[in-house]
Structure 1
Amino acid sequence: MAKKATAKRATAKKPVTRRAAANKPLAKRAVAGTQAGAKKQAGAKRGGAKRVGAVKSDGARRAATGGTTPSWQARITSWPDISFSSAAALPADSDAVAVGFFAGRPAVPAGIRGLDVALLRRQGFEAKVGQTHVLTAGRQTQIAIGLGDPGRYSPEVARRAGAALARSASHVRRAAFLPPAEGRGTRARPMPTLSPGELGQALAEGASLATYEFSEYKSSSAPSRLRRVIVVVPETERREVADGLRRGARVARAVGLARDLVNEPARAMTPRRLAEVATAVAESSRLELKVLDENEIAEERLGGLAGVALGSEEPPRLIRLTYEPEGGASATVALVGKGITFDSGGLSLKTADGMMSMKTDMSGAAAVLATMSALADLQVPVRVIGIMPTTENMPSGRAIKPGDVLRARNGKTIEVLNTDAEGRLVLADGLSLAAEEKPDAIVDLATLTGACVVALGRQIAGLMGNDDRLVARVKDASERSGEPTWHLPLPDEYRRHIDSEVADIKNVGNAGQAGALAAGLFLREFVGQIPWAHLDIAGPARSDADEGYLRKGGTGFGVRTLIELLKSFSAS
């Protein structure tokens, strides 16, 4: 996302709603049993924490780090920098013209000169998905974009075409895109099915995300110059394409917000700062907000979150956002995101290499917050609750130790044998709170296990759950949105892997065996009978290279899947 650095942080605005107080529980049901001394320890350690409304941003640390902190209100509302529109004829002022080609079915639209099919073939253009060939015709740049096998044409192919257009036309301000001409009003074989709305949304998502840039801490940058993209389609399709373009740009903005949150240095994106961003999101997106500080977290018996936070000088936060659709909701869905703003491993300390990208460990919370930011604009018809338990996981004399026992919100006790398996501890409280709301479904996202990366690699998320119908819905949404997932089992016979000698469960499974599944079975203990799906996004939450519409760093994985799921979700 192209941005200009600013030297001044946006000041915190008036809270959107009153935060939950000690005499007003966060949820109706309360399970007895608080981690012994949690409140007392928190108060002694931090000298009596202030309420969230009184906690100032981390400006004192800003001077020490030399970093800048931009206005999040501006980030939330001002990107992408490209305007999208549709037209029935090619605009004369286009600096670049891109044409989509299917493999084996080349056809140049009427009025386009310079794109010679035979020449393209001689120069190695095979129309593979995302492949480009750039020519210069006078003052105009012409771009051939490959769409691959026509039988496999999909929103993801169009998304990658949008990215190819944005990258190839980054040096110009105005570009036009023409879908393949063959099959439109001719006797040629029919075009593969892709609705005009799907085409517009996918193109806008791909083009926008390909121009994303995180340059807050760089002295100079070279952002894309592209500011206008016109999609040329028949007059009968213009309105639907334009609607899709608007949706795609809005979805891309949400993904860009998630990327921004993940890419911020951990010293700047603390739990308190994340709560401030949530406040800005709530104000701009018509959401109800509640934030619990460390004292309230102890009072609400969130023992997993409070326990992980003990090792850090930064106080934890529990962020809760609620979206209420206009006209009433047909269903309620709860989203829970892991928000570890930096994970050192705690006393079970990671290696230096293992810590380098651990600011990414709040990708689940970033995805939930970014999704919540777009719901009103996209007119999602269901009520959505977003819960984000957020803290750092650090070693200190007060940190939890291997062998300690914590009590989660639902009363279950957890033996902590590895402090680097902390994500499931904070999710235990988040999922318990979500279950108390009795929603129609719960979906959580977390960069949870390295075992899932070993099993599925860096591009595919693990998908687990207790309800096959919900899992199928999430799987379908992920495929439509271009965020691949793979359904993993939760075998009941593996439940004994998390049996503890001294507590209800332990936070690790059997060494070297089904680590991702053991984590999923652990989380299942906190959702009761509510339909629940778990996305382990440890692999795809971060990209190590610029490719297609991905940029190196946080990917915002999960945002598109959640939006796709929610826009058509029903309780039946």
Structure 2
Amino acid sequence: MIIEAGATDVELTSVDAVAQFVATDGERAVAGRDLANLGQRAEIDLTAALGALRMTGKAGDVARLPIRLGDRTVLLLVAGVGDADDVDAHAVRRAAAAASRQAGASSTMAVVVPDDLPGGLDGETLARAVAVGAGVGAYVYTAYRTDLEDVTQLDRIVVVAGDGVDADAVARGAAWGRRVAAATNTTRDLVNTPPAFKRPPALADHVTELVASTPITAKVLGQDELVDGGFGGLVGVARGSSAEPRLVELTYPGSGATDEHVVLVGKGITFDSGGLSIKSSSGMATMKSDMSGAASIVGAMLAAAELELAPRVTGLLALAENMPGGDATRVSDVLTHRDGTTVEVMNTDAEGRLVLADALAYGRELEPSAMIDLATLTGAQITALGKRIAAVLGTDDALVEAVEQAGDRAGERLWRLPLPADYREQLRSEVADLKNIGKGGEAGTIIAALFLREFVGDVPWAHLDIAGPSFSDSSDGALISKGATGFGVGTLVAYLETLG
């Protein structure tokens, strides 16, 4: 898919579809100058047409109507951004995504960046939102489909400046948004891939190929190196699988404008059966997505390199397959982690924290200025916050606040949970330094984060539990289709962008 900026007069007469935005006053759509101008060119009263279609401009609504522009018929898509008093970049992202998903058989679509949309957003910010929204909205995963007759997908999205909008600002915004959308969709491809095709060795090789043509370098630690290096959690989780674990270390050197060094750590369980604490069949149905944290880090680093962001970034992907083989880690086994901490495994389905513990301990050795991990870690996160809001916890208030603000800018909702010291008692083991679960499922997201905190030392650290928002069981009607969402890429890019 190509996403680019273009000239309004040229693109509106050469594309198959044109998308415009409207807000609502609560009862009807509020049309701006660009939509009125388009109506004049098409010799149609678009305000009356939208009224006849009962288009009110509420968020998620899209009106579709064919119009004549010159000697061509073009599909006009009018997408609602919601209440005029609440228009922000995320509302525009959602509207652009909804429009791209309603483009039907169109292969090319122009999206007009308006000057008079409520909210007062500048042209570059709007163009960023349009490009990201349209790009992720148009995503379709077809790698293993042979019958594509009912599949429609945009080949080209053109972001054009509306009346009074700075075309250079739109071009900058579209270029930025194109890179973030592409990185997000790469993450979604990785997560949507069936687990048999992304076992740890294969996934490590694929990631290495993805970064080969970028400034990012990749180093892969295999079974022997992990054993020799003391990565007992990663090796222990993988013992039941015939596929060996991998630790992928990605290094982006940064643009040199800052001394900041951020380590990103991702849980990469390529399939989670639960191990000997085995899941139900239905519980395994989406467990190809248990490597979403690692995948989001790949996407964020690809975007950082494309955007030439300032900070140095190291990504650590802890890849393993959690299976119930004959040599699988048993309940009550004790594992020794990278930093020497011993852990009694009381539930083999609480494996994500075991692989993350090694990666966090290793990341601490790199002496970063900050460390952030992403993981589909607990079902308790979904119970507490649902499928659209991730949990964020951490040891450094400034870092957690910066990550929360980045999530706001990216349209990825985060909610902070506490790390109460007295809850740490639930991790006490009688035979090891720690055990890997608490008691009775209480405060599962908090307990898991408290476990991880044991391995970060004094490094400022934030933990994002993305179990819910990383994978959608159904379309949310606007921004994301069913399947992998790429959640976290936008937040990480928005955070890294602030460093320098």
TM range (shorter): over 0.9
2:160 corresponds to:
231
Establish whether residue 485 from structure 1 lines up as the match of residue 414 from structure 2: yes
1:351 corresponds to:
280
Matches within 5 A, 1:262-411: 262-327=191-256, 329-411=258-340
Offset at 1:373?
1.6
Q: Supply the distance in 2 between the matched residues of 1:331 and 1:225 (Cα, whole angstroms).
A: 39
2:101 corresponds to:
167
Of 116, 124, 131, the match for 2:46: 116
Letter in 2 for 1:193: G
1:85 corresponds to:
5
Identity %: 43
Q: Matched residue of 1:348: which SS? A: coil
Q: Matched residue of 1:219: which SS? A: coil
Letter in 1 for 2:135: S
RMSD: 1.7
Letter in 2 for 1:169: A
Contact 1:88 1:238 in 2 (8 A): no
Mind listing any 5+ residue stretches in structure 2 that lack a counterpart? none
Letter in 1 for 2:102: S
Q: Matched residue of 1:333: which SS? A: strand
Which has the larger share of strand? 2
Offset at 1:396?
1.8
Q: Matched residue of 1:161: which SS? A: helix
1:49 corresponds to:
none
Mean Cα displacement is larger for which, 548-557 or 114-123? 114-123
Mean Cα displacement is larger for which, 213-222 or 322-331? 322-331
Q: 1:231 to 1:295 in 2, by over 3 A?
A: same
Q: Supply the distance in 2 between the matched residues of 1:446 and 1:258 (Cα, whole angstroms).
A: 14
1:106 corresponds to:
31
Letter in 2 for 1:560: G
Contact 1:302 1:429 in 2 (8 A): yes
Contact 1:176 1:232 in 2 (8 A): no
Of 117, 121, 134, the match for 1:194: 121
1:5 corresponds to:
none
Q: 1:94 to 1:265 in 2, by over 3 A?
A: closer
Matches within 5 A, 1:149-160: 149-160=83-94
Establish whether residue 457 from structure 1 lines up as the match of residue 386 from structure 2: yes
Q: 1:414 to 1:199 in 2, by over 3 A?
A: same
Offset at 1:533?
0.3
Mind listing any 5+ residue stretches in structure 1 that lack a counterpart? 1-80, 184-190
Of 186, 189, 192, the match for 1:260: 189
Offset at 1:164?
2.1
Q: Supply the distance in 1 between the matched residues of 2:459 and 2:256 (Cα, whole angstroms).
A: 25
2:65 corresponds to:
135
Q: Supply the distance in 2 between the matched residues of 1:499 and 1:132 (Cα, whole angstroms).
A: 54
Residue by residue over 1:330-364, the C-alpha shift from the partner in whole angstroms, topping out at 9 and shown as x without a partner, is 30000000010011111111111111111111111
Of 343, 348, 351, the match for 1:419: 348
Contact 2:113 2:159 in 1 (8 A): no
Contact 2:114 2:165 in 1 (8 A): no
Offset at 1:234?
4.1
Q: TM-score, normalized by length of structure 2?
A: 0.93
Offset at 1:397?
1.9
Offset at 1:115?
4.6
Equivalences, count: 483
Offset at 1:84?
2.0
1:209 corresponds to:
136
Q: Matched residue of 2:457: which SS? A: coil
1:219 corresponds to:
146
Q: Supply the distance in 1 between the matched residues of 2:20 and 2:285 (Cα, whole angstroms).
A: 41
Q: Supply the distance in 1 between the matched residues of 2:154 and 2:341 (Cα, whole angstroms).
A: 55
Contact 2:344 2:434 in 1 (8 A): yes
1:444 corresponds to:
373
Contact 1:171 1:226 in 2 (8 A): no
1:126 corresponds to:
56
Residue by residue over 1:302-322, the C-alpha shift from the partner in whole angstroms, topping out at 9 and shown as x without a partner, is 011111111111011111011
Q: Supply the distance in 2 between the matched residues of 1:348 and 1:309 (Cα, whole angstroms).
A: 14
Contact 1:170 1:226 in 2 (8 A): no
Contact 1:285 1:374 in 2 (8 A): no
Contact 1:210 1:550 in 2 (8 A): yes
Offset at 1:119?
3.8
Residue by residue over 1:380-408, the C-alpha shift from the partner in whole angstroms, topping out at 9 and shown as x without a partner, is 10000000111101112211111111111
Matches within 5 A, 1:7-18: none
Offset at 1:111?
4.1
Offset at 1:494?
0.7
1:42 corresponds to:
none
Letter in 2 for 1:143: L
Q: Supply the distance in 2 between the matched residues of 1:182 and 1:211 (Cα, whole angstroms).
A: 26
Q: Matched residue of 1:124: which SS? A: coil
Offset at 1:143?
2.2
Q: Matched residue of 1:397: which SS? A: coil
Offset at 1:88?
4.9
Q: Supply the distance in 2 between the matched residues of 1:296 and 1:89 (Cα, whole angstroms).
A: 59
Q: Supply the distance in 2 between the matched residues of 1:330 and 1:195 (Cα, whole angstroms).
A: 30
Letter in 1 for 2:146: S
Q: Matched residue of 2:399: which SS? A: helix
Q: TM-score, normalized by length of structure 1?
A: 0.82
Offset at 1:122?
4.0
Q: Supply the distance in 2 between the matched residues of 1:178 and 1:242 (Cα, whole angstroms).
A: 12
Establish whether residue 507 from structure 1 lines up as the match of residue 407 from structure 2: no
Contact 2:111 2:157 in 1 (8 A): no
Offset at 1:484?
0.8
Q: Supply the distance in 1 between the matched residues of 2:302 and 2:31 (Cα, whole angstroms).
A: 41
Mean Cα displacement is larger for which, 548-557 or 301-310? 548-557
Offset at 1:529?
0.8
Contact 2:15 2:108 in 1 (8 A): yes
Offset at 1:425?
0.3
Mean Cα displacement is larger for which, 113-122 or 434-443? 113-122
Q: Matched residue of 1:338: which SS? A: strand
Contact 1:308 1:422 in 2 (8 A): yes
